[in-house]
Copies of this chain bind each other. A is one copy, B any other.
Amino acid sequence: MTTAARANLRVGVDIGGSKIAVLVVDPEDRVCVRRVAPAASADPDAAISQIAAAIRDAVGEAGATLDDVRAIGLGVPGRVDTASGDVTFAVNLGWHHLPLGRRLAEELGVRCVVENDVRAAAVGLHRDRLASGERPIDDLVFLGIGTGISAGVILDGRLHRGVRGLAGEIGHVVLDRDGAACACGLRGCFETIAAGAGIARAAREAVEAARDGDPTSLADLDDPTAEDVFRAAEAGDRAAIRIVDRAADAIARMVHELVLAYDVELVVIGGGISRAGAPLLERVQAGLDRIGAPSPFAAELLAETDVRLVGPDHDIGTRGAIALLGAAVEGVVAREAVG
């Protein structure tokens, strides 16, 4: 029983800017172990060792060895060549052309599948919905809002990557041409208004303005983060509320654009911003209501679209990484289990 229960495990790894999250599940998708390790190094060799150690530790904690692991899925915040498993570019990790999949497979002797983290999350949402026995949703967007912004898009039940693997790079849609400079070179990109770095920049501007007589509790903080801004807004700080409202309004506008472009029925907002929780979702919903108020067409479309925020402790990243392993691997597992 113990041997059987610990065979054919699958491992999902979510490599974030602040931590490495690992999830180990059994063939029935039950969670064996959930584990978090410190963020990966920018140095390739050190990063491979850290990630391999995090996986080994999690598998060991599950009372198993790597021989019991069928495959490992990894979500990475950056551009990924899914055919080779190479990470082409992951700006927040400092990686450039890292053959992550091959190096880890060599190191661990287990097949590894690598994908962009936001896309992996979208695949996971789609698969979890199928697995849950609920009505399947084959057209959905996962809107990942963290340091940057991008969307993972499932259309007709399939992940849409685009010709160059850039589909869903909507963080660089320009919402305010006179807005702040974006790292991409344009001004007023969606990212500059709603992503973590953009909100932190707006907080610095608010602190500057406070010196000119527009007081804000953010001025009491040393280099306020997006989380500080959300917390201050909840506490009633007017400058913080303005920043959060502007971000929520931009998110609502982009949800409207995404629904017009893709005609999906579910938009799930995740990434670091999801820690702002229900108050943020309420402000986004207020933005959607403002768009729908004068337009029966927009109102109907948005009313038919389910807009949600990922819960605080949801394993969306790691479950998405496991979902990458998909039906093919599971088919093999099922066949070998019979033999």
Chain A interfacial positions (CB closer than 8 Å to B) = 138-139, 151, 155-156, 158, 160-170, 172-174, 182, 184-187, 253, 256-258, 260-265, 291, 294-298, 301, 304
Contact = CB atoms under 8 A, between A and B. Distances in A.
Nearest to A305: B163
Given A162-B262, A168-B261, 9 more contacts: A151-B261, A163-B263, A163-B264, A168-B263, A170-B260, A172-B298, A174-B291, A184-B297, A261-B261
A162 B257 contact: no
B185 A294 contact: yes
Nearest to A140: B163
Given A156-B160, A173-B257, A167 B263 contact: yes
Contacts of A294: 185-187
Nearest to A174: B253
Residue from A151, A160, A301 whose CB has the most chain B CB atoms within 10 Å: A160
Contacts of A160: 155-156, 262
B162 A264 contact: yes
Q: Is the interface of A mostly helix, strand, loop or mixed?
A: loop
Contact of A166 (B161, B164, B186, B301): B301
A186 B253 CA distance: 12
4 smallest beta-carbon distances between A and B, as pairs? A162-B263, A185-B295, A167-B263, A185-B294
Contacts of A182: 295
B260 A169 contact: yes
A124 to B, nearest CB: 20
Contacts of A291: 174, 186
A298 B261 contact: no
A163 B260 contact: no
A152 B165 CA distance: 20
Nearest to A167: B263
